Structures are given as structure tokens and as C-alpha cells.
Structure 1
Amino acid sequence: MSFQIIEQAKKYDVCIVGSGAGGGMAAKILSEKGYKIALLEAGPDFDPANPEQRTQLRWPWESPRRGASTFQRSFGDFDMAYGGWQLEGEPYTKERGTEFDWFRSRMVGGRTNHWGRISLRFGPLDFKRKDFDGKGDNWPIGYEDVKPYYDKVDKLVGVFGTKENIPNEPDGFFLPPPKPRLHELYIKKGADKAGIPMIPSRLSILTKRVNKKRQACFYCSQCSRSCTVYGDFSSSSVLVNPAKDTGNVDLYVNAMVREVTTDENGKATGVHYIDKLNLKDYKVKAKVVILAASACSSARILLNSKSSAHPNGLANSSDVVGRYLHDSTGASRMGFLPELMDRKRYNEDGVGGMHLYTPWWLNDNKNLGFTRGYHIEYWGGMGMPSYGFGFNMEALNSLVPGANGETKKAGGYGLSFMEDVKRYYGSTLGMSGRGESIPQKDNRCTIDDKTVDKYGIPVLKFDYKWTDEEIKQAAHMQDTFEEIIDSMGGIALGEKPGKESNYGLTNPGQIIHEVGTTRMGDDPNTSVLNKYNQAHDVPNLFVMDGGAFVSQADKNPTWTILALAWRASDYLADELKKGNV
């Protein structure tokens, strides 16, 4: 390397890259055990209770863009995500025909500051799907291996829900769930009629206090803005802050990690990062390195960490790093319920997410034309009003004649505009499927040697295609959505997506659940990590993010990332005591 690297004098026990779910958990567990930690984050420090950073309970006029989205604030100025699918000076490339979209969040706590808090355990079947359908691969661990850590996460973080005794939807330690809102009761009425289950959601939002530093949710419905009273789960407030309180964590912010450094034997010695503010290169030394930068970012770091001992990238003798990349499937539909027109106005904000959801209900049906499954998420109600549904309002009015039998034309402004908003406010609802795709070896990210970011680091190139399995799953989602909407007496809005659009199947990466790039397994020839998230090739290197996943399940990955990171941190601490690492 031709550039000068400034070496930090201090040598840490552990260097952790990434402060989201996995990195935050590792920092908390290991710092509380007395280990000295360097925690590196590619974005700035963040605390939702900081008045200068708070977006919760702010009015639209307090934003220079009235809260609107921008190139690098994809979900809007009030959504607590410093990042998006495109970042200035940080490109990524795609193979021809690939539509993968890569979301990155640059801030302490990462994506956990703005996620939906859907906190589902993988079930026994989810770890061993190959035994059931013969596709993909089994995990090297089972539900019973992870269950004690799911239990610990439930009790530490707090998750509401109800015990349902559904075989592949494991129950946990639940706080009381909030009551369903009116639109959810209507959806449940339709789902019951269609024979589709709906149960209370399982979200990591406090309906009761779990400790003195975190208050219960006060139902402002703005969880995407990150909570000023720490009533929901964000790594920044629930994991990183307590880790820093131990006095054993040095937090490095705006630290863009280029590579893991190694010695002549290929053992990890620390990391090399670029300070994003002064653009100088630094080296942090540590006995152990944990990558938790997100599945694709961790893979990028490993693939860029080439040496004579690791010519194909660090921990990549198997050529598996970057492979088996997969994201959740997703498709959506909106509906309109005439019975909810001209609603009485009252406060029904609730939590910042759904109060009811549908778990996958057809595990025993092998005649669907596809394997694996999906759950359904719902939305609607009386949130901030908006006007229009993305199609002809006059056509909608023709479906709902007034008391005298006459239809009303759509108004465009003034009094007529106000009347339309009041008429339809609270009468729309929607649903989204979130499903499991089958990991494919050739769905992957690699290094594009022809392109670097503004820090001089080679970028990722994506190669990803959906299979017929995922497309057929999306078709089933659309049929289910229409059945539920029809059963509740509603009207499905817009044209039903067809085969030409893959039945509305979203681009991979759009659901932001990408996992699998450094998957675990017992065979070093077909996996990167062992069952404790430890690299087969480099014993003092661990990966504690979604990259370790062998398969996704239809569940959101965060709860499993947290549980596996806790489990791996306990294992690492034990190995350090034994002198094995």
C-alpha cells in the first residue's frame, strides 16, 4: 500500500465493525464481561433523545423539506435513517439484468433506528427446511440451540405479543399487546371469513417498562423516527449506550473500514479504516475482530482484505464469501373499505406499526406450486391525511354513491378538496407479504475492481435473479390479498399485478433483509463460519450480522441476529478465557 496508515497506540481485546443489532449486542455483552472494545461505525454518533437529532414529535414545517424524502433520506426527513439505497460517493454496480438495491444506514445503531420492530423467532422448521422440502441447506444449528438466547433477548429488549402455540411460530416472553384498531378489526373479520389467521403482532416496543432507563410507549405512532424515551428497540439506545456506560468501549464514528489487517500467518490483527472527516487512514489493533457491518458490507470488507495468506479475500478459501445472498420476498396491495368512509375522528395512533399480523398458515400444504412461505403485515387507519390513491378519484367516487344515489365527482382544490379528504380519511388500508426465498449460490456480491468509492475502496457488484419459486409466491400473495379485501366488503385498489410484473414482486434488496453472504456451516468447503459465527479460516475473526444466515425464513432477521450475536459473544468470551483465540 502506497498510503501512510496511522496506527492507534492502544491494542484492544476486541474490535467490532458496525453498531447495529449484531455489533451493538456484541459490544454490550463483551464490555460487561470486562473486555476492552473498539466499536467502529461508518456514520456519526446518534441518540434519539439528543434535542439536536430528535425528529419524533416534530411538525412538518420544522423540516426544510416538510419531511419529504431525498436522494439520501429514502424514507423522508423525519425517518431516522441516515442513508438509503444510494449514497453520495458510495456507488455499487450491477451485472446486466440485476435489479438488486442495496440499502445502507450510516449512524450509530444502523438500521435499528428506523426498522419496523417486527421481532419474530425462527421456528424449528426454519432451521431445517431442507429436511422438509429438499431445497437449499439446513443450518448447522437448530431452534433448541438458539432458544435460550431468544429468551434472553425477549427479556432484555422487551417484545409484546401473545402465546398462540403455533408450531413454527415459537412463543416467547411477551409484554401485553396493544388492542387492535378499527381497520385491523375489519381486516380480521375478512381474514377470518377467508380462513386466514390473524394474531397480535410481536414488536419490540414497550407496553410496560422493563428498566429505569426506558419508558413505555406513549402511542405517538412515530417509531420510525426513533424513540426519545427509548420505548422501542434501537441498538443505539438499548445496547450501545449501556456498553459505553461500562467504561470499556471506545467508540470510533465516521470510520469507514477498508479491510481487516492480518499478520504473515493470516491471523487478524485489527482493521484499517478511513476517517470520513479528515480522509486519513488509521489502523486499530485488536486480538479479535468482529464484523457486524451488515451482510453485504461485511462481505465487502472480507473480499477487500487480500493478502498472501488469503489471496481470494479473508476467510474465503471456500469461495463462499458474497455468495448465497438473499432477501425477503415482498408484494403489496391496497384496499378501500366504504364502511369506513366519513369516520368519526378520534385518536387511534397506537404503536408505530401493526397491532395484528398473519403468520404463515400453510406449512403443511405441499400443493401450492412453491415451497417456503410468507407472513402478512397490515397498515391503515387515521394517520396523517393524504389525498388520492394513485388512480382516478372520480372512478372511486362512482363506486360509492351518496344518499340520493348520485355519484360525486372528484374535487381538485379548495372546499371540494377538503370534502374529499374528510370523506375518505381512514377508509384505506393495505397489506404486504414478506416471504422466504431459497438461497442460490450464484446470487452474490463480488468486488468490482474497476470502481472505487470516494474513499478509494473498491465497491461491490451485485448479481441476483429471482427464481420461479419467489414469483409464484408473489402470485399467491396477490390472490390472498384480494380474498381478504373482498371478504371484508372492501374494494381492491388498482389493477391486480400480473405475470408481466412478476405479480408485484419487489426488487431484491428493497425489503432490506439481505442475509447469507458469509453463511455458517459444519463444512469449511461450503461455508464461511462455524456454528458460533467464527470464521473457519481465521479463528480470531467472527461475523455477527445477517451474513451468517443459511436461510431467511419468512421472519424479519433482526431478532435472530441479536440472539446469534449474544450466543457467539458468550462463546468468544469462553474461548478467550481458555486461550483458544
Structure 2
Amino acid sequence: MKQPTPYDVIIVGSGAGGGMSAYVLAKKGLKVLMLEAGRDYKPEEETPMFNTNDEAPLRGVSTPDKPFGYYDATVDGGWTVPGEPYTSDPGGEEFLWWRPRMLGGRTNHWGRISLRFGEYDFKPYSRDGLGVDWPISYEELAPWYDKTEEIVGVTGGGIYHGANLENTPDSPPGILHNTPNRRLHEIMLARGFESMGIPVAPMRAAVIQKPMNGRAACFYATACGRGCSIKAMFQTTTVLIPPALETGNLEVVTDAMVYTVDMGKDNRAKGVTYIDRHTGDHKTVTANAVVLAASAAESARILLNSKTGKYPDGVANSSGTVGKYLMDTVGASSAGHIPILEGMPARNDDGMGGAHIYVPWWGYGQQARGELPFPRGYHVEVGGGQRMPGMGIAELANHSSVPFGKGLRQEMRRQYGADIYLAGRGEMIPNDDCYAEIDSDLKDRFGIPVLRFHWKWADYEINQAAHMRRTFHELIDRLGGTVTRGTGTDGREAIAKGGEIIHEVGCARMGADTRTSVVNKWGQTWDVKNLFVLDGAILPSNPDKNPTLTIMALAMRGATYLADEARKGNL
């Protein structure tokens, strides 16, 4: 008698999409195998929560292999991974591809900003004729946002809650945790923005402010980018994967580099093949359904490398759009020195990781009237204050007239906390010049063909970056300060490289038309009914709101649909 398939579902990836998919499917009783390309990671044991920068090599500063500093939670990954190259089209602009290569993926080091996409964001084409509409509306995803926020734990409530900002959806009462009080520099920045007629809102961040589900409330120890041993900051490694394992329905295999989806009879996916990163052995596993959640570009790479006689251009690619419409967030930044903040008494500005405020996009009316040279908006993230100093504090010497010695130290103490930082994060419109394809001339150390990226910012995004800089400069001027970094207003100079903001989405977008999309509104591929994509690859557009919360909400919704279809015998 033939043995039954031991797994109901194989999930490739353990980050936002993979972690949420595993949580839902295991809780619903399906037998799940999770394959993660990177190493195992336990934040409770590995996070240096209380180390100070003087205990780290080079005082914890960035290095080529640790671009966010020595204490950043990413342990084996980054924009470059030894033996795992990728290429960029020499005729285009450079694209930077971040790969964490660890259990939990990017949720271990992410910025935790958790903004819901708004009503406009789901129907952009209907508003301005650019890009495409989503096959779902905000109203359809709203209940899944609610459920996701309740599991993740998101700040944003309190005295500023319910401001009714345009295209910035609120959450139902009782879901959001109260946002910590504004710090001195945030009060000052808020007043500056409001004097310009620009609204300021409490930050929505995945950092809990009260105990929940066995997790301790944040007590403002060290930067969230280190990971979180007390589970206050959301990571799939502490919040989603452990309860899924406790059901007895999830098995996790790390260091498993998946490179193909294997097809069986009746046009169904029968499993995947992966390489053990330690031994180099090729292993094949089977299941009744497969979920790709390896990150937008990596999921596309797997599909494109999964060529068969029926799918010569890659599995689930009858539309020819796998790898197409790659997007990242538009980014530009400036810094300023504000003399009014000099000489302040020492204070504790630790707070939760990141800012306690942010600036949602305010220019929808101007765009509707055609008054701006770009059609989509951006939000503003802020920084500053008297937080734990690093080596960057030496920049304060630039403001001192004393060259060395005790006088210089006194000047630096007087000026500490007087610098502010502003970063714009804006929407990119998908275009035909931005995509990923297989590089036919290069393979990684495992023998897997690598990706070649094509990238080109359009004038819309370049004009948006220029507007960011002008806005920042006006704010700094109103506060009586001087722009110290990001001084130019040329959008081409100001804009970050593609991939540098680490919000890469697209490459297997959802839609209502099989000819122009890869998956339906549930993340189910049009071509192979038991093959799903549940990560950032399926986003048809990339609004100015950070994508992680939406990826998780879509994964919860898609995994619930998958479980229901499996129960009905439809897969």
C-alpha cells in the first residue's frame, strides 16, 4: 500500500509571509514543513540586549559584512552573501538585494513600522490611471488587518488616536497599544511640521506596550534592530513560529536552499527540491500544497528556475509576468543641527525602538489638482534626541570651534541631542524597466542560476525625492537650524538606490486577469491550483506605507483560504 504524503503543506521561507502562513495552517491542523535557507536563530538566547557599544568591535559601527552595525540581528546575510551573488543589468541602475539568511527572515531586524494600506492604495489605477488596481479592496482586507494587529501587537493608540487622516486607516477600538509619550525633539519636530500645515501622527510600531500572549511589554532597553530576547518586538521567531511548533503540526528545517518547485501529475505541484547548505546534498520533499514565501525576488527566482516542458519559462509563468514589476520604496533623507536644542540637561530619550511619531502623506489634494510633479505620496520618519551614543557622535565635533581636549568634549556634550534626522519613504509606481530574470551566465556556489536585476527610477519617483528634500530643508529652516546632510535638492542625487530601503515587492503580482498577473486574490497561482505565493511578491503596488503588516495580513487571509480549500478536497 502506498504511503500517504506526510506533509499537507510545504512553506518556503520563515519571515513575515512564511511565519504567518505556518501559524495559521498549523493552528488549523494541517501538517506543515517549513524550509528556511538560512541558519536557525533564537532571539531569546542570542540577542545582546544590554551590551553597550563600547563592548563591541569598532564600537559597534557598520562594516561591509554588517552594514547596520555589529549588533544588528541579521547574522549571516545582508546586501551581499558570500558565494551567493546576483547581478545588475550593466546598462541600467544598480539594484541592491537584501537577504537575511536566518530563521525569521527580515522580521528580526526590520524597522517595525506597521501602517495599514488605505482605500486609495488598493485602487491606484482608478484614481490616476497609473499602475494597476488590486483585485481586493481595503474593506476586504480590513478584518485581516484587525486579526494580524491583535497577534503582532501594534502601537498607535492614545491621545492622538482617531485623527481621521486621509487614506490612513484607523484600527477598531481596543486593538492598538498606547504610543509612548513624545520626546523633546519629537515635540519640537511636530510643532515644526504643524506650522507648515502638515499633520503628525503617533507611530504605528510592532512593539508591545503591555504584556500579551506570554510576551513582556517593552521596557526600552536597547535598539530593536538587535532582536528582542523578551519578545516585546515582533519577530516570527518569537511570536508566530513557537506557537505553531507547539501544535505538533509544524516541522522546521533550516539551511535548506530551495531551488525548484517539482511538478507532478494533473498539473499539480508535488513538492520542492532543496540543497543542504552544509553538506551540499540535494533533497526532495513532497506535500499536497506548496507555499512560496521566500521574499519577493527569491520566490520569483524559484519559479523561474522551475522549468518544465509545460512551463519552459518557469512554473506559474504563463502570463510572462514572473519577475516583472519589481518595486522598492522611494527613499531620501536629510539631517539638521538645531541650536535651540543645544545645552539641554541630560535626559532619558530611549523610548521604544525608532520614533514615537511619524508624518503621513498630506498632499492628496494637491495631487488631485495637478499641483505636484509626481502622482503618489510619501511619509516622513524622524530621529534625534539623547539616545545611547555610538561612534557617530564624533560628528558633533563638526559644530565645535575647539579642536581638541577638554574643551572639545564639553562642546560635544553641549551639542549632544541637537541633531535631527528626516527620512522620506514614498510610493513607487510599477514600470516595465524594473524586473528580475535568471542570469544565464552565472550560478551561485550551490550551482543554482542567480538573478539579474534591471532597475530604473522613473521621473515620478525622482521628482518625489526632490520634494522630500525641499520639505526637510524648509522644516529645518523653520526650526532655526542648518542642514548638515542631504543638502541638495536634485532628485537624482537624493534618491536611494533600488533595494536600499529593503522593501522589495512585486515579481508575482496578484490580479483579476490571468494574462497580466501570477496569482489570484488569495495568493493562489492561476496555473497551478495547489501552489501559492504568500509574500511581498504578490503586491501589485507599493504604497508609501511599509509593506510588512500588509504581507502578514495577506498571508493570514491566503493561508486560511488554502486550509479551507484543502479541507474541501479542492487542492
Q: Is residue 362 of structure 2 the alignment partner of residue 380 of structure 1?
A: no
Q: Which residue of 2 aligns with 1:285?
A: 286
Amino acid corresponding to residue 472 of structure 1 in structure 2: N
Amino acid corresponding to residue 570 of structure 2 in structure 1: N
Q: Which residue of 1 aligns with 2:205?
A: 203
**CA distance in 1: counterparts of 2:167 and 2:249, whole angstroms:** 39
Query: Are 1:14 and 1:37, in contact at CA under 8 Å, matched by a contact in 2?
Result: yes
Q: Which residue of 2 aligns with 1:294?
A: 295
Aligned pairs for 1:115-126 (under 5 A) are 115-126=110-121
Q: Which residue of 1 aligns with 2:7?
A: 12
Q: What do residues 322-372 of structure 1 show as CA deviations (whole Å, max 9, x unaligned)?
A: 000010000000011111112211212000111010000111212111100
Q: Which residue of 2 aligns with 1:5?
A: none
Q: What do residues 291-331 of structure 1 show as CA deviations (whole Å, max 9, x unaligned)?
A: 00000000000000011121110100111000000100000
Q: Which residue of 2 aligns with 1:271?
A: 272
Q: Which residue of 2 aligns with 1:193?
A: 195
CA shift, 1:492, in A, is 1.6
Give the SS at the match of 1:542: strand
Give the SS at the match of 1:521: coil
Amino acid corresponding to residue 207 of structure 1 in structure 2: Q
Q: Which residue of 2 aligns with 1:492?
A: 483
**CA distance in 2: counterparts of 1:109 and 1:387, whole angstroms:** 29
CA shift, 1:439, in A, is 0.3
CA shift, 1:393, in A, is 5.0
**CA distance in 1: counterparts of 2:396 and 2:112, whole angstroms:** 34
Q: Which residue of 2 aligns with 1:60?
A: 53
Q: Which residue of 1 aligns with 2:163?
A: 164
Segments of 4+ in structure 1 off by > 4 A? 386-394
Give the SS at the match of 1:493: strand
Amino acid corresponding to residue 157 of structure 1 in structure 2: V
**CA distance in 1: counterparts of 2:232 and 2:425, whole angstroms:** 25
Of stretches 103-112 and 158-167 in structure 1, the one that deviates more from structure 2 is 158-167
**CA distance in 2: counterparts of 1:390 and 1:452, whole angstroms:** 43
2:374 equivalent among 367, 370, 373? 370
Q: What do residues 471-492 of structure 1 show as CA deviations (whole Å, max 9, x unaligned)?
A: 0001110111011111222222
Give the SS at the match of 1:30: helix
Q: Which residue of 2 aligns with 1:183?
A: 185
CA shift, 1:62, in A, is 4.0
Amino acid corresponding to residue 94 of structure 1 in structure 2: S
**CA distance in 2: counterparts of 1:65 and 1:390, whole angstroms:** 13
Q: Is residue 18 of structure 2 the alignment partner of residue 23 of structure 1?
A: yes
Distance change in 2, residues 1:538/1:519 (3 Å)? same
Query: Are 1:49 and 1:228, in contact at CA under 8 Å, matched by a contact in 2?
Result: yes
Amino acid corresponding to residue 182 of structure 1 in structure 2: L
Q: Which residue of 2 aligns with 1:132?
A: 127
1:502 equivalent among 462, 471, 492? 492
**CA distance in 2: counterparts of 1:503 and 1:389, whole angstroms:** 25
Q: Which residue of 2 aligns with 1:400?
A: none
Distance change in 2, residues 1:164/1:498 (3 Å)? closer
Q: Which residue of 1 aligns with 2:521?
A: 531
Query: Are 2:470 and 2:489, in contact at CA under 8 Å, matched by a contact in 1?
Result: no
Q: What do residues 148-199 of structure 1 show as CA deviations (whole Å, max 9, x unaligned)?
A: 1001011111111122212310001311110001011111111111111111
Q: Which residue of 2 aligns with 1:90?
A: 84
Query: Are 1:372 and 1:436, in contact at CA under 8 Å, matched by a contact in 2?
Result: yes
Query: Are 1:322 and 1:446, in contact at CA under 8 Å, matched by a contact in 2?
Result: yes
Give the SS at the match of 1:12: coil
Query: Are 2:5 and 2:288, in contact at CA under 8 Å, matched by a contact in 1?
Result: no
Q: Which residue of 1 aligns with 2:452?
A: 461
1:558 equivalent among 535, 544, 548? 548
CA shift, 1:221, in A, is 4.1
**CA distance in 1: counterparts of 2:349 and 2:487, whole angstroms:** 30
Give the SS at the match of 1:364: helix
Q: Is residue 405 of structure 2 the alignment partner of residue 420 of structure 1?
A: no
**CA distance in 2: counterparts of 1:488 and 1:61, whole angstroms:** 33
Give the SS at the match of 1:365: helix
Q: Which residue of 2 aligns with 1:406?
A: none
**CA distance in 2: counterparts of 1:28 and 1:392, whole angstroms:** 47
Give the SS at the match of 1:422: helix
Q: Which residue of 1 aligns with 2:360?
A: 359
Distance change in 2, residues 1:388/1:252 (3 Å)? closer
Root-mean-square deviation (CA, aligned residues, Å) is: 1.7
Aligned pairs for 1:253-264 (under 5 A) are 253-264=254-265
Aligned pairs for 1:515-530 (under 5 A) are 515-530=505-520
Q: Which residue of 2 aligns with 1:344?
A: 345
Q: Is residue 81 of structure 2 the alignment partner of residue 81 of structure 1?
A: no
In the comparison of the two structures, how many residue pairs are matched?
A: 557
Q: Give unmatched runs, 5+ long, in structure 1.
A: 1-7, 398-408
Amino acid corresponding to residue 527 of structure 1 in structure 2: S
CA shift, 1:387, in A, is 6.5
Query: Are 1:221 and 1:350, in contact at CA under 8 Å, matched by a contact in 2?
Result: no
Query: Are 2:113 and 2:546, in contact at CA under 8 Å, matched by a contact in 1?
Result: yes
Query: Are 2:486 and 2:494, in contact at CA under 8 Å, matched by a contact in 1?
Result: no
**CA distance in 2: counterparts of 1:439 and 1:491, whole angstroms:** 36
Query: Are 1:189 and 1:488, in contact at CA under 8 Å, matched by a contact in 2?
Result: no
**CA distance in 1: counterparts of 2:339 and 2:41, whole angstroms:** 43
Query: Are 2:220 and 2:350, in contact at CA under 8 Å, matched by a contact in 1?
Result: yes
**CA distance in 2: counterparts of 1:70 and 1:340, whole angstroms:** 31
Distance change in 2, residues 1:514/1:479 (3 Å)? same
CA shift, 1:10, in A, is 6.0
Amino acid corresponding to residue 379 of structure 2 in structure 1: H
Q: Which residue of 1 aligns with 2:403?
A: 411
Q: Which residue of 2 aligns with 1:44?
A: 39
Give the SS at the match of 1:562: helix
Query: Are 1:18 and 1:41, in contact at CA under 8 Å, matched by a contact in 2?
Result: yes
**CA distance in 1: counterparts of 2:253 and 2:390, whole angstroms:** 41
**CA distance in 1: counterparts of 2:129 and 2:520, whole angstroms:** 22
**CA distance in 1: counterparts of 2:268 and 2:65, whole angstroms:** 37
Distance change in 2, residues 1:46/1:10 (3 Å)? farther
**CA distance in 2: counterparts of 1:388 and 1:156, whole angstroms:** 36
Q: Is residue 25 of structure 2 the alignment partner of residue 34 of structure 1?
A: no
Amino acid corresponding to residue 276 of structure 1 in structure 2: R
Distance change in 2, residues 1:297/1:235 (3 Å)? same
Query: Are 1:385 and 1:425, in contact at CA under 8 Å, matched by a contact in 2?
Result: no
**CA distance in 2: counterparts of 1:34 and 1:264, whole angstroms:** 26
2:142 equivalent among 142, 147, 152? 147
Amino acid corresponding to residue 235 of structure 1 in structure 2: T
Amino acid corresponding to residue 211 of structure 2 in structure 1: R
Q: Which residue of 2 aligns with 1:72?
A: 65
**CA distance in 2: counterparts of 1:48 and 1:117, whole angstroms:** 16
**CA distance in 2: counterparts of 1:190 and 1:60, whole angstroms:** 32
Aligned pairs for 1:237-248 (under 5 A) are 237-248=238-249
Q: What do residues 457-512 of structure 1 show as CA deviations (whole Å, max 9, x unaligned)?
A: 0000000100000000011101110111112222221462243x614100010000
Q: Which residue of 2 aligns with 1:574?
A: 564
